[in-house]
Amino acid sequence: MIPVILGISLIIFTVVRVIPGDPAYILAGPHATQEQMDQIRAQLGLDKHPVTQYFIFLKHLFQGDLGTSTRTGLPVIREIMTRFPNTLVLALASILLATVFGVTIGIIAGVKQNSKFDYLSMLVALLGLSMPVFWLGLMLMLLFSIQLGWFPAVGADSLKHIVLPAITLGANSTAIIARMTRSSMLEVIRLDYIRTARAKGLAEKVVISRHALKNALIPVVTVIGLQTGTLLGGAVLTEIVFAWPGIGRLLVEAILSRDYPVVQGVVLLIATVFIFVNLIVDILYSYLDPRIRYH
């Protein structure tokens, strides 16, 4: 995990510095003199050797110092920390929604293979996979807040505000989780030990919930883990649609105003959370399937 995070920090560091556009030039503006630019470069530490710069960047990183926003002049860490809880809440609500609905639909579709429910839910899942998040958000807003007036369209002030953004953000993952659960269920349900369980006269409910589900869920857990990362990335679009004050919106604002320290900080944070979630998934694995420990 640590090497990957170091790798990510190196990629972000390199991308921010190597690609065209001198930060000193951007900060100083087109009319700055060479002297002013040199001064800014010295201030930012840009006159030092790139390797030294990277180590300084890392040292600051471990001290929780991500620099200052060029747009607001506030420390990046504070900018992020005021916004991050909002994104976290939204992402958690979405993944919860996606897991509950996705797994339930997937199980029913898998157990009742080739039934009407199976066809219909898999068709809807396929549609859900191809749906642009931002368009779905707008359509939900059009229907449920503008036409019906059930939920507020924008903002993050009450529990009611989270419903539409969470559905929007979770729709794609619900579809993916439902498809994965179904195919995993179909695979497991044909195995011998399920036949054994049925043969010894266990109720179908017990066979499904105790025997089939536990094994079928293992690949589903990976998908849920991967989806968490995608959700954090997808949150960017959802947050813009619903004016949700999270880090996704912060990132877009920072990109549009060329606020590099904030871009760097947000990307680093999202990538780290993603890696962390996947580490948790790996640990969950060995809990769900003790065989994995010995591999």
* Binding positions for another protein, rule: CB under 8 A: 3-4, 7-8, 10-12, 15-16, 19-21, 126-127, 129-135, 138-139, 141-142, 146, 179, 183, 229-230, 232-234, 236-237, 240-241, 251-252, 254-256, 258, 260, 263, 267, 270-271, 274-275
How far, in Å, are 91, 125, 277 from residue 11 at the CA level? 25, 35, 20
Query: Please, which residue, 91 or 97, has the CB nearer to another protein?
Result: 91
Cβ 35 to another protein shortest distance, Å: 26
Residue 39: what are its φ and ψ, rounded to 5°?
-65, -45
The one-letter amino acid code at 11 reads I
**Residue partners of 263: CB distance under 8 A and separation at least 6:** 16, 251, 254, 255
Cβ 198 to another protein shortest distance, Å: 25
- State the CB neighbour count (10 A cutoff) for residue 145: 18
**How many angstroms separate the CA atoms of 79 and 81, rounded?**
6
Residue 76: what are its φ and ψ, rounded to 5°?
-55, -40
Query: Please, which residue, 16 or 156, has the CB nearer to another protein?
Result: 16
Query: Please, which residue, 30 or 290, has the CB nearer to another protein?
Result: 30
Q: What are the tokens at 49?
A: 């050797």
Query: Please, which residue, 40 or 171, has the CB nearer to another protein?
Result: 171
**Residue partners of 168: CB distance under 8 A and separation at least 6:** 133, 136, 137, 140, 238, 241, 242
**Residue partners of 65: CB distance under 8 A and separation at least 6:** 75, 77
CA atoms within 13 A on the CB side of 226: 11
Query: Please, which residue, 6 or 203, has the CB nearer to another protein?
Result: 6
Query: Please, which residue, 42 or 279, has the CB nearer to another protein?
Result: 279
Query: Please, which residue, 91 or 207, has the CB nearer to another protein?
Result: 91
**How many angstroms separate the CA atoms of 87 and 199, rounded?**
49
